[in-house]
């Protein structure tokens, strides 16, 4: 009887193992490019010794070798090797429609970046929103890339969850709901210099799993930062960390005019989850006027996505005292400057660039080498812990200072704010979005009190 039971146990275990065995499909047969098609550019792809080789070419846009089949939820694995100086990527859930920019490939991309920036396995939204997960959000994993060698990538796209690994190291973690299905594609990036012609990127061992994903996927651990790219929402992880929406994406709840008891009747609009200050005279608070939070804040981390138009000027203010300035102009408070540095004259005023994008306006200049997307949304983040304050633009520190110090007060006295008593030193204040007479859009306005 014991022998029979042992045999039954072994048979059942083998059956269960067979049922749960991972089922992978090879996307590349190792011999030719069957099942793929080339899109957008004219860079060349060839097969040699079981490897797909893409070669850079001058005077062509980005070129993509795309699967003919579409994929929704999946786990993708492959190996790549790229020459220094050539950027590349792996598209997933991507599409090419004639009605969208005449067939331009757009969608998620797992980055291949051999440059010193080291953003390999970050997630980029090709042809649409730009960076969703630059590796500055997870700098510890920048060292995962092996220069001049084969690197193994794993991409898990399951529902709204998009995660990447490079050589077994977790790199990107994104929540996004924009695209549920699309093709997989291998990119040869456009080049601009003759000396970049002929550089190669290679791929091999390309396989995909689309079945039993809940059992095949990597168990979830809160080991790296998760970027929530679903507009005007708070994820479970954000909620657990204390984040809340400061603007709900639909109404004016929680906000009022800086010099009003209610929200301005004009000058601001809410459209498709975007809060927009409208273009007017270019003057300071001359149309709808600034808007402020009804609640005041003391220690906090504030995150705001913003997009400017040509020549635009605006700002995000904090420690605002709406009682200080009852006359013309903006309400008074510390300001994260929002500006088109190239086209607005304010960039050349002030002292040594202290009125440029990301600066503490008229007090401390942001560095000139900022990462900024003029045609898309950018992220401003302000962190206040007591008297210590930091500004971040797209995850890069631009300003760091300490209030209620002799140095800070000296800066204030030398600035346009010297006429306002105790400027910037209040224990708490309102948060403000500025009407400076130019069209600027805001969304994903979130706050975490510290």
Domain ranges of the chain: 23-228, 236-449
Query: How confident is the model over 122-166, as pLDDT tens digits?
Result: 999 999 999 999 999 999 999 999 999 999 999 999 999 999 999
Q: Taken in order 85, 88, 117, 376, is the CA torsion positive or negative?
A: positive
pLDDT digits (tens, 9 = 90+) for 323-334: 988 878 899 999
Q: How far apart are the first and last CA of the chain?
A: 66
Residue 215: strand, helix, or coil: helix
Residue 82, both tokens = 């790229």
Q: pLDDT at position 21, please?
A: 61
For Cα atoms 34, 35, 37, give the angle at the middle one, nearest 5 degrees.
Answer: 95
pLDDT digits (tens, 9 = 90+) for 319-371: 999 998 887 889 999 999 999 999 999 999 999 999 999 999 999 999 999 98
Its pTM surpasses 0.85: yes
Enter the CATH code of domain 236-449.
Answer: 2.60.120.560
Smallest Cα–Cα separation from 156: which of 239, 71, 232?
71
Domain at 23-228: CATH code: 2.60.120.560
Q: Do domains 23-228 and 236-449 have the same CATH topology?
A: yes
Q: What 8-state DSSP symbol labels residue 331?
A: P
């Amino acid at each position: 009887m014991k022998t029979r039971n042992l045999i039954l146990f072994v048979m059942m275990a083998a059956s269960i193992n067979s049922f749960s065995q991972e089922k992978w499909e090879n996307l590349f047969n190792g011999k030719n490019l069957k099942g793929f098609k080339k899109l957008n550019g004219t860079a060349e792809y060839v097969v040699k010794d079981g490897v797909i080789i893409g070669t850079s070419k001058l005077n062509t846009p980005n070129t993509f070798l795309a699967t003919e089949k579409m994929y929704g939820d999946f786990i993708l694995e492959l190996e790549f090797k790229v020459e220094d100086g050539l950027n590349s990527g792996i598209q997933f859930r991507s599409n090419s429609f004639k009605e969208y920019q005449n067939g331009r490939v757009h969608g998620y991309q797992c980055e291949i970046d051999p440059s010193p920036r080291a953003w390999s396995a970050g997630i980029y939204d090709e042809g649409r929103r730009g960076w969703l997960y630059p590796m500055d959000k997870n700098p510890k994993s920048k060292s995962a890339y092996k220069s001049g060698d084969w690197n193994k990538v794993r991409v898990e796209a399951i529902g709204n969850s998009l995660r990447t690994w490079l050589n077994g190291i977790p790199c990107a973690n994104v929540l996004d709901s924009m695209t549920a299905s699309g093709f997989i594609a291998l990119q040869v990036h456009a080049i601009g210099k003759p000396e970049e012609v002929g550089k190669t990127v290679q791929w091999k061992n390309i396989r995909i799993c689309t079945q039993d994903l809940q059992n095949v996927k990597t168990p979830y651990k809160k080991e790296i930062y998760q970027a929530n790219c679903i507009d005007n929402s708070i994820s479970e992880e954000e909620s657990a960390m204390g984040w809340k929406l400061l603007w709900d994406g639909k109404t004016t709840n929680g906000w009022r005019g800086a010099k009003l008891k209610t929200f301005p009747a004009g000058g601001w609009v809410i459209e498709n989850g975007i809060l927009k200050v409208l273009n007017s005279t270019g003057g300071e608070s001359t149309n709808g006027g600034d808007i402020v939070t009804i609640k005041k804040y003391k220690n906090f981390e504030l995150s705001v996505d913003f997009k400017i138009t040509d020549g635009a000027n605006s700002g995000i203010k904090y420690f605002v005292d709406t009682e200080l300035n009852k006359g013309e102009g903006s309400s008074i408070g510390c300001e994260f400057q929002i500006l088109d540095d190239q086209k607005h004259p304010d960039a050349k005023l002030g002292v040594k660039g202290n009125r440029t994008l990301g600066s503490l306006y008229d007090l401390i200049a942001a560095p000139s080498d900022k990462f900024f997307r003029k045609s898309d949304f950018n992220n401003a983040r302000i962190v206040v812990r007591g008297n210590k304050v930091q500004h971040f633009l797209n995850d890069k520190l631009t300003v760091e200072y300490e209030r209620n110090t002799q140095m800070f007060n000296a800066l204030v006295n030398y600035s346009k704010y010297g006429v306002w008593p105790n400027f910037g030193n209040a224990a708490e204040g309102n948060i403000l979005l500025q009407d400076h007479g130019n069209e600027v859009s805001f969304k994903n306005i979130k706050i975490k009190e510290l």
